[in-house]
Structure 1
Amino acid sequence: MSRIGNKVIVVPADVTVDISETNFITVKGPKGQLEKQFNEVLNFSLEGSELKVSRPNNEMFTRKIHGTSRAILFNMITGVSTGFSKKLEIKGVGYRAQLQGNTLVLQLGFSHNIELEIPQGITLDVPKNTEITVNGIDKAVVGQFAAEIREYRKPEPYKGKGIRYVDEYVARKAGKTAK
């Protein structure tokens, strides 16, 4: 019994959901449009403002994709109505970020600057040179791009320098002590 898969998705008034016979679903909202092809085994039904995902049998493959498909569809609806964001902070002397057109330029203590092209569908805000906010309607793309930024300089445990998520806890270690 899938607890997540059986939950009903409430569709907001400003979001429209189109379901084709082949389970190609298009979700349109005030922030944009997302579309995805879901497996044809599942059944999607839209009744008023309630969207239900059901499975016809209890085979292992069908059980696996039931909850996952419902979660992806819920994230699509949430993305086009409110959007997703990830906040990153940069700690370290001389570490900073700046936005130059469609490129994010990071100075992270290397001998060169790191230049990242911003993917389509993503908007970046750099309110201070030590804060980055990644915004978008696709949760997977927002999370992936934030992880790629963080990967260039992960927070290290001794001084805590590096790029971290705002709510991330970094376990600190004591350094060597002289005897």
Structure 2
Amino acid sequence: MSIIHNLKTPSLLSPSLSSPHTSSSFPLQSSFKPPIFSSNPPLLSRRLFLPSVSGIWDALTGGNNNTNEAVLAIRRGMSLFRQGDVLGSVVEFDRAIQLDPRQKAYLWQRGLSLYYLDRFEEGAEQFRLDVAQNPNDTEESIWCYLCEAQLYGVDEAKKRYLEARH
């Protein structure tokens, strides 16, 4: 099984000056500003923020040193997923959770892997944990719905749908 799509990586669309879309009808042309000139500083994603905070917390409290190992396991899991080794990715994500249980509520990547392995119940649980931590994450709500539609059918999945707050 080859999984090509990059489901959660945001992309910056930056048309070049040599772009064939230089007319004013191209929506990005008139409103695009390179990030360096943006008046709003880039926000630190919670997916990047948690490992940083948990590492700082461990340093301050003398906690275990498993946070770095857990983050490495997550990165290995993401890499394995991109390479098409979905089962291997779940092994790495589960290892990350064993090393640092705080990671579980943020491992949306694990939910994707579980979905592709047809482990829909576990996938839905993973996505529900993630949405509980970040109720604004519409994408995890949709993935949870997709898992539950496989388990219970579309009508029941609609009833169980997690509404994201904005």
Compare the two structures and name the one with the higher strand fraction: 1
Larger radius of gyration: 1
Structure 1-normalised TM-score?
0.28
